[in-house]
Structure 1
Amino acid sequence: MDKPILTASEIGMLWTHYIQNSMTIQIMKHFQSTVQDKDIKFLVEKSLMLTENVKSEIRSIFHLELLPIPYAFSNTDVNLQAPRLFTDDLMLLFIETMGKAGTPAYSAAQAVSTRSDIRGLFTKILIEYSTLLNKTIEISLEKGLYVRPPSITKPDEVEFIEGKSYFTSGLNPFHKRSLNVVEISHLFENLKTNSIGKAICTGFAQTTDNKDVKNYFIKGKETGEKHAQLFSNLLTESDVPAPVPSDVGVTDSTTRVFSDKLMMFLKSVLSATGQGNYSTASTASMRYDLIGLYQKLSVEVAVYAKDGLDIMLKNNWLEEPPQSSDRKQLIKKGTHS
């Protein structure tokens, strides 16, 4: 029995993950050639093998379905002779972030797929990313490098919200209710991801000779630092400790490691992830000041991402996803034949 043709959703997910895994492979190759800690090297090699396998399996599907293979990224986008740009600690944080982003991404891909073989592929990858994330956290904990979320005093009993003041108290600068655990969770995770993003922007800014790209990453570093500070202040206001990853994540190297195309693409992925995180946090928060803050910061990220898109378009670095036929053009063309 012939397989049904791939749906637009399936092609879209396969195409997106092919591009992203192609990019991650080049990053992991640099990590592999510069990592020093043997346990972190194990994680780097495991991550590299996972991303190479995903790319290979998706490539096989594209061949069988007679779909064009995306150009994506290759060995020309990484300089494996370059000295180490990021410390082992930051590599570990990057793999953790990759695992956290990969599990919901492949869960979403599985959910919108129809064909059993495509669902099976995304299910398998989802399990592998979840396994990678668990192993990364275990090693981080063993080495004392894992940045734990804040703790709170356990409540004595169940309580119910009484009145709108629970939501509006954040608007009163003199009397804001303390943060609840859901709000703490989102503030902490967004603080952590912005700290990592700041470090990546720092490394990219010091290794590119493209003025537009350099200025873009300098702005990204400043934005990440500002957002992280806002989240840290909010936690501190409620007497919640605001632990952050070590600021020592980038070496002094100024030698180019990655192509501008790869660095800009990675930042576009991180910006999209950040916008999604802010949207989720805004929906989950129950203090109006937090909701307003997330919406404001989301707009800032959107404007920043748009500036990045302009740079990528200017340099012809954006591949066009597969799209539906333009029926109007086909009809118009048929009229003149």
Structure 2
Amino acid sequence: MNGKNPICSSELGTLWLTYQEKTLILRILEYFMEKADDQQALNIMGGLWQELNHYVIKIEDIFEQEGVVIPNGFTKEDVNLEAPKLYDNGFDIMFLRILKEISMGMYTLNMNMAYREDVMTIYEGLTTTTQKVYKLATHYLLNNGILTLPPKVTMPKSTEFIKSKNYLNGFRFFGENRALNDIEIGNLHHGIETNHIGMQLVTGFAQCAKNKEVRQYFVKGKELAKKQIKTFEEILLESNVQFSASSGSTVTDSTIPPFSEKLMMFCIYLLNGFGLVGSSFGSIFSLRNDISMKTALIGKDIYVYANEGIKIMIKNGWMEEPPQMGNRT
């Protein structure tokens, strides 16, 4: 626990993946900061860049001390600061907020696989930074009218227990479906919100991608996001739930890529992982069978799409190989 024990496999693996994610976010932040026209947004992104860069250096120090080659990750070559603005209307902070959602989940998993004091300290510090920035981003977006709140619901006046397994039934041949509970509404709203941002992201990526296969992959991602939004909206409308999606952002008409195709593909790879976790969460914690089935099918679609992206990255030499055990056979 004193940080002197040799680094173990789980710690090396999670640090390696954290390094990939953090160097990617640093490059994205550098571009967004270069194009920012709002001082408050610039302050949020600049503060995050400084803190993440600090932890990237700490991870590099551990790798050097352990004799581990430092991963390539994402470098200055993966970002073009001279490229025109690709997104507008607060997209930088909207996307930053999504990245922090992903980070919060990753740090929880990574902390569970850490044993050395210095490794746990890194994830502890990153968690604090992420929660702080997530809060700042949420307040910024709400104050600027870019982010909308989930639907308002009737306040419960008493506690009730489920009295019949019919509560699980979503589809009925006679009568209306059981009303959505607040957990289900929250998950559906979150799915709409994140997919709106994802749709804007891949629209911009597709617009400036030069590789035809990569461009088609991003277009397919846009259609997948639209399909999920439609599914979630229909469930809410069928239950007469009033909702309003976030205003999202505006994709400009620029076709000059601000990021390398390697970076854009890895970014979608991370979001696919986030989408799989989200669909699993929605499926497990929904108590209406029809919603569970629909979110499970969405998870299948995301998995197939993610697998296609991995193959494209491998084909183009963009998928850096994680550290692994030596072949002892």
TM-score (norm 1): 0.94
CA contact (8 A) 2:88 2:251 kept: yes
What is the match of residue 78 of structure 2?
77
Does the aligned pair in 2 maintain the 1:282–1:295 contact within 8 Å?
Answer: yes
C-alpha distance in structure 2 between counterparts of 1:146 and 1:83, whole Å: 25
Match of 1:108 in 2: 109
How far is 1:104 from its partner? 2.1
| Preserved contact between residue 268 and residue 308 of structure 1 (Cα < 8 Å) | yes
State how far apart, in whole Å, the 1-side matches of 2:251 and 2:270 are.
Answer: 20
Mapped to 1, the partners of 2:150 and 2:51 lie a distance apart of: 28
Are the counterparts in 1 of residues 35 and 85 from structure 2 also a CA contact under 8 Å? yes
Give how far 1:19 is off: 0.5
Q: Percent of pairs identical after alignment? A: 32
Match of 2:280 in 1: 279
Aligned to 2:24: 23
- Aligned partner of 2:12 in structure 1 is 11
Partner letter of residue 57 of structure 1? K
Aligned partners of 2:248, 2:137: CA distance in 1, in Å? 20
Structure 1 residue matching 2:105: 3-state secondary structure: helix
User: Which residue in 1 is equivalent to 2:130?
Assistant: 129
Q: In the aligned structure 1, how far is the partner of 2:160 from the partner of 2:183? A: 15
The yes-or-no answer on 1:308 pairing with 2:314 is no
Residue 184 of structure 1 aligns with an amino acid whose one-letter code is: I
5+ long unaligned stretches in structure 2: none
Which deviates the most, 28-37 or 141-150?
Answer: 141-150
SS in 2 for 1:114: coil
Report the CA distance between 1:130 and its aligned residue.
0.6
**Separation in 2 of the partners of 1:197 and 1:180?**
26
In 2, the alpha carbon distance for the partners of 1:59 and 1:241 equals 49
CA contact (8 A) 1:205 1:214 kept: yes
1:181 — aligned with what?
Answer: 182
Assess, with a 3 A threshold, how the Cα gap between structure 1 residues 173 and 15 changes in structure 2: closer, same or farther. farther
Bigger drift between 218-227 and 246-255 goes to 246-255
Instruction: Give the stretch that moved more between structures: 161-170 or 212-221.
Output: 161-170
Q: CA RMSD in A?
A: 1.4
* Preserved contact between residue 96 and residue 137 of structure 1 (Cα < 8 Å): yes
| Residues 174-225 of structure 1 deviation map (CA, whole Å, 9 limit, x = unaligned) | 5211110111111111111111110000000000111000000011011101
Whether the 8 Å CA contact 2:146–2:248 is kept in 1: the answer is no
Query: What is the count of residue pairs matched by the alignment?
Result: 328
Q: 1:232 Cα shift?
A: 1.3
Q: How many Å separate the matches in 2 of 1:226 and 1:32?
A: 32
Q: 1:2 to 1:105 in 2, by over 3 A?
A: closer
Shift of 1:38: 1.1
Summarize the alignment of residues 108-257 of structure 1 with structure 2, pairs less than 5 Å apart.
108-170=109-171, 172=173, 174-257=175-258
1:88 positional shift: 4.2
Aligned equivalents of 2:3, 2:235: Cα separation in 1:
57
**Preserved CA contact (<8 Å) 1:107 1:123:** no
Q: Deviations over 1:280-334 (max 9, x none)?
A: 1111000000111111111101111111111111101111111112221xxxxxx
Please report the TM-score for the alignment, with normalisation by the length of structure 2. Answer: 0.96
Which portions of structure 1, spanning 4 or more consecutive aligned residues, are displaced by more than 4 angstroms?
171-174
Change (3 A) 1:325 1:246: same
Which structure 1 segments of 5+ residues have no match?
329-337
1:186 is matched by which residue type in structure 2?
Answer: N
Q: 1:169 to 1:209 in 2, by over 3 A?
A: closer
SS of structure 2 residue aligned to 1:170: coil
SS in 1 for 2:250: coil
Are the structure 2 counterparts of residues 154 and 205 from structure 1 closer, same or farther at C-alpha, using a change threshold of 3 Å?
same
Q: 2: CA distance between counterparts of 1:167 and 1:287? A: 5
In 2, distance between residues paired with 1:314 and 1:69? 23
* SS of the residue 1:83 aligns to: coil
| Distance apart, 1:24 and its partner CA | 1.0
